[in-house]
Amino acid sequence: MRVLILNQAFHPDVVATGQYAADVATALVELDHEVTVLCSAHGYDSPSLCFPPKERWKGVDIVRVAGTRFGKTAKWRRALDFASFLAQCAWHAPRLGRFDAIVALTTPPLISTIGVACKFLSHGRLIYWTMDLNPDEAILAGWLDETAWTARALTFIQNFSLHHSDAVVGVTILLPPAHPLRRSSLSLPGRRKMYGTMRQGVKNFVGSMGCTASLW
């Protein structure tokens, strides 16, 4: 089975989401799946770090895309870096061929929308692995006004991804289609409550592949 993993960070980047994605990718290779990762050519916390555009690592095909490297010293800089990476992913992902399953993480926020597009193009299944929930976190941090059109637009996009996912993984917890977190009509406070409850039960990362392996 051909599997595509979407995340900004991946080996040899050492940030948490990159390590989680690497663990899943190598475990899937051991299960005889063909795994491709689409990620950034620059370090997540250290944009000056540059990685090869293509690499085969432990049986995983890694495709890295370049983007802006403004860094994290200001919100607008981080937003531009995220936007440029998403634009590069939108350009390269359709050119990687068809996949039976697409795993989208949440770095950067809303990369799941690329996963939805890949799902429609490949007629595959989308597994949305939620490490965080945006724009909810940005609103709670005071970066976004909950009533602003940007917050409403980003919430719509997030809900769109949740609605079109075949499975939602909250680190180790799979959410069935009828789960309240996947309902676009759920209010922001309700989403916060459900997501907070979900994270309370997290003890290990993706259950030694228990949750993920059952999807293939």
Tokens found for residue 210: 């228990």
Residue 121 lies in a domain: yes
Q: 83 — phi, psi (to 5°)?
A: -65, -40
Distance, CA of 103 to CA of 3 (rounded, Å): 7
Distance of CA 149 to the CA centre of its chain: 23
Give residue 197's pLDDT.
Answer: 37
Output the domain CATH number for residue 139: 3.40.50.2000
3-class SS letters over the chain: CEEEEECCCCCCCCCHHHHHHHHHHHHHHHCCCEEEEEEECECCCCCCCECCCEEEECCEEEEEECCCCCCCCCHHHHHHHHHHHHHHHHHHHHHHCCCCEEEECCCCCCCHHHHHHHHHHHCCEEEEECCCCCCHHHHHCCCCCCCCHHHHHHHHHHHHHHHCCCEEEECCEEECCCCHHHCCCCCHHHHHHHHHHHHHCCCCCHHHHHHHHCCC
User: Tens place of pLDDT for every residue, the chain, 216 residues?
Assistant: 899 999 999 999 988 889 989 999 999 999 899 999 999 999 888 878 889 999 999 999 999 998 776 656 666 466 777 788 889 999 999 999 999 999 999 888 889 999 999 999 999 999 888 877 777 777 777 777 888 888 888 888 888 888 898 888 775 444 555 555 454 444 444 444 444 433 333 223 233 333 443 444
Number of Cβ within a 10 Å radius of residue 97: 11
Residue 216 located in a structural domain: no
Q: What pLDDT score was predicted for residue 199?
A: 34
Q: Is residue 213 part of a domain?
A: no
178 within a domain of the structure (yes/no): yes
Q: What pLDDT sits at residue 190?
A: 47
The answer to whether the CB of 129 falls within 8 A of the CB of 102 is no
Cα R_g (the chain), whole angstroms: 16
Q: Please name every residue paired with 62 in a beta bridge, in sequence order, or none if there are none.
A: 37, 55
Range of the domain at 151: 2-208
Count: domains in the chain? 1
Residue 38 has a pLDDT of: 97
Q: What is the pLDDT of residue 84?
A: 87
Q: Is residue 215 part of a domain?
A: no
